Chain A
Amino acid sequence: MGHSNASGDLSSEMEVDAFRRLFPLRFYEHHLAESIRPDGRALGKARDTTIELGAVASADGSALAKIGLTTMLAAIKMEVMTPSKESPDEGCIAIDFHMPPICSPLVRPGRPAEAEPVVSKQLADTILRHVKHFYGHSLLLDYFFKVLYSGMIDLKDLSLVSGKAAWMVYLDIYCLDADGSLFDAALLSAIAAFSHLQIPVVSMNDDGKLIVVSEENGEKDIVNKEKRKLSLNRIPFSLTCVLHKNYILADPTAEEETIFETLVTVVLDTFDQLVYLYKPGGLVLAFTSSVQDCIALTRQRLKELQKILDESVSGMEVD
């Protein structure tokens, strides 16, 4: 904190906290000049990130993800549906992002937060993207497009009985504590919940309805014996940066998000392909070079996140 006092103007006569509140931009610029942020991070560095799998026992898959203080709880519930006529052997995924009033002083009951629909849409775009139109030309082409363009989850994996029954996957993500970079934390928790997901074993009963059976009973008519896990290909990871003058700050806190109004969110997948790029207006026009810098930072962050996710998954398996 010392160097903010050193610059000689008003700040030398004022307490640091008061200065921070009154002149937040100047306060930050003093820091940026020294290439450090008030919480001690380097500009391109993200906050400490943790993942805890299986936080909710009543869900089929769940995870708690924390990036700094931002906390997200994601849980998946599986229900059975009748697939549509157009795609008889595909399931469906519904993603909802919630900001309950507990997570931030800005959210009041009955008045949904502005970020809620935005993040919901971003998550759906990132996780659900898939191309149907390319199927059916040739096997080779099919394979080609599947590898290159398919989303994280193949909806065909969710089929149970073609034309009769398929999984409807409800993914609900709750923000428990909001301190910036909400989308990054939400996406991370969603992916972690998917990797924790255990699909229940079901069998058809006399009424043609599917019910959960325990594996040990050795029942015969189990519909989905092999499909207990979803295969996740091309997992997307994201990083949000704020831009200010020539500076790029990775993984902003809520305070940083309000002071610097230009945000860039980059999503890359594990095949190093750009999945999603989001820059909603803002004061600073992003130069191509700064967008490329953001992508480079995301590439580094992807490796970090992948390691954290792998560790939490293998930690589960040991238990």
Chain B
Amino acid sequence: MAAKAASTPTTYSPSPTTQKTKPSFFKNDNVDWVRPDGRGFHQCRPAFFRTGAVNAAAGSAYAEFGNTKVIVSVFGPRESKKAMMYSDIGRLNCNVTFTTFATPVRGQGSDDKDFSSMLHKALEGAIMLETFPKTTVDVFALVLESGGSDLPVVISCASVALADAGIMMYDLVTSVSVSCLGKNLVIDPVLEEESYQDGSLMLSCMPSKYEVTQLTITGEWSTAKINEGMQLCLDACSKLAKIMRSCLKEAASASED
């Protein structure tokens, strides 16, 4: 952080920086605190998907969960880079970037390297790579606005974009995260909740196959809590998959007309 601050010494954002100390209501487990957007602890934000956001791509999708807005484009299958060795299965190449205005403070959404490899891991188990040997499918994501749970939204949106591009998959990949705040688990956290969280659990799965493609946990968790968190995510994932399916169906029936 220190290095970042030093590189832009001349300007600063006038918006009040998030407090370092937790607001007391997050800590207090006895008081029924209300989430910043008024949701229940186990209630997800309304999810919106639309395919065909980018015409120049083979397939694409736009996703909006509250203030989290992302676009994912899929290109290919196309020729792998010359330097790549021969491969009898296809390759998947993922990249996630943030716009400079995605975060409250300009240009802070920069853990994209980590996001790119996490996106790759979440998707690779679901794609039938053997259906496009010797070639590469590129999955590029741009986070237009970061409103919390960015990576799960990118992953879900990417699988809709892959379906839009006609890439063969075993199942859609859906992803949901929970934040641990004190004793409570809150699902689909917003940016503010993420900045105060004691721990997080992100789960990506193929709901129809009932298989987990990616799971990451940070913070200290007991096994029982992991169990609870995973179950919350799995339930939310299968609900999310319904929304994604209906979006794809709509797009398919619209193109038939």
Partner of A102, one of B73, B104, B146: B73
A290 to B100, CA, bound (A): 40
Q: How large is the interface on A (under 10, 10 to 19, 20 to 34, 35 or more residues)?
A: 35 or more
CB-defined contacts of A212 to chain B, threshold 8 Å: 14-16
Q: Interface residues of B, CB < 8 Å — how many?
A: 38
- How far does the alpha carbon of A251 sit from the alpha carbon of B100 in the complex, in Å? 29
The answer on a CB contact under 8 Å between A102 and B140 is yes
- Give B75's nearest chain A residue, CB to CB: A105
Chain A, Cβ-Cβ closest to B81: A108
Known: A105-B57, A177-B55. A209 touches B138 (CB 8 A): no
Question: When chains A and B are docked, how far (Å) is the Cα of A176 from the Cα of B141?
Answer: 11
Q: How far is the CA of A200 from the CA of B138 in the complex (A)?
A: 40
Cα-based distance from A202 to B12 in the complex (angstroms): 13
Interface majority SS (helix, strand, loop, mixed), chain A: strand
Docked-complex contact B54 and A73, CB < 8 angstroms: no
Query: Which positions 71-111 of chain B face chain A at CB distance < 8 Å?
Result: 71-73, 75, 78, 95, 97, 99-104, 106
A179 interfacial contact with B, CB 8 Å: yes
Contact between B103 and A178, CB atoms less than 8 A apart? no
Known interface pairs A102-B140, A176-B54, A202-B14. Does A77 touch B73 (Cβ–Cβ under 8 Å)? no
Return the contact of A170 from the options B58, B72, B75, B106 (Cβ within 8 A): B106
Chain B residue with Cβ nearest A79: B11
| A179–B73 alpha-carbon span in the complex (Å) | 15
Min CB–CB distance A301 → chain B (angstroms): 22
Please indicate the chain B residues that have their CB under 8 angstroms from the CB of A179 in the complex. Answer: 55-56
Cβ of A78 under 8 Å from chain B: yes
Residues of B within 8 A of A202 (CB): 14
Q: Are A177 and B56 in contact (CB under 8 A)?
A: yes
| A222 adjacent to chain B (CB < 8 Å) | no
Does A211 lie within 8 Å of B72, measured CB to CB? no
In the complex, chain B residues whose CB is within 8 Å of the CB of A209: 12, 14
Q: How far is the CA of A59 from the CA of B11 in the complex (A)?
A: 16
> Known contacts being A56-B145, A73-B144, A170-B106, is A105 close to B14, with CB within 8 Å?
no
Whether the Cβ atoms of A58 and B10 lie closer than 8 Å is no
Known: A79-B13, A80-B11. A102 touches B57 (CB 8 A): yes
Cβ contact within 8 Å between B106 and A109: no
A310 to B250, CA, bound (A): 34
- Per the 8 Å Cβ criterion, residues 98-151 of A in contact with B are 98, 100-105, 108-109
Q: Which residue of B is nearest A58, CB measured?
A: B145
Answer yes or no: A269 CB below 8 A from chain B CBs: no
Judge whether B10 and A172 touch: CB under 8 Å.
no
Q: Assess the B145–A174 pair: CB atoms within 8 A.
A: no
B142: interface (CB < 8 Å): yes
A286 on the interface (CB 8 Å rule)? no
A268 at the interface (CB under 8 A from B): no
**CA of A105 to CA of B138, assembled, Å:** 9
Tell which of A59, A76, A109, A170 has the most Cβ of chain B within 10 Å: A109
Find the A residue at minimum CB distance from B73.
A102
Contact A62 B10 (CB under 8 A): no
Looking at the assembled complex, report how far the CB atom of B33 sits from the nearest CB atom of chain A, in whole angstroms. 23
B54 touches A177 (CB 8 A): yes
Query: Which residues of chain B are within 8 angstroms of A188 by Cβ–Cβ distance?
Result: none
Name the residue of chain A whose CB is nearest to the CB of B100: A172
Check if B169 is an interface residue, CB within 8 A of chain A.
no
Query: Does B243 sit at the interface, judged by CB under 8 A?
Result: no
Q: Which of A78, A211, A254 is in CB contact (< 8 Å) with B16?
A: A211
The residue of chain B having its C-beta at the shortest distance from the C-beta of A108 within the complex is: B138
B contact set with A: CB distance below 8 Å: 10-16, 53-58, 60, 67, 69, 71-73, 75, 78, 95, 97, 99-104, 106, 138, 140-142, 144-147
Report the 7 A-B pairs with minimum CB-CB distance, sorted nearest first. A102-B73, A79-B11, A101-B140, A75-B101, A109-B95, A81-B11, A168-B11
Given contacts A80-B12, A211-B15, A212-B16, 17 further A-B contacts (CB under 8 A): A55-B144, A56-B101, A56-B144, A57-B145, A58-B102, A59-B101, A73-B144, A82-B10, A100-B140, A102-B54, A102-B57, A105-B75, A105-B78, A109-B140, A179-B55, A202-B14, A254-B56
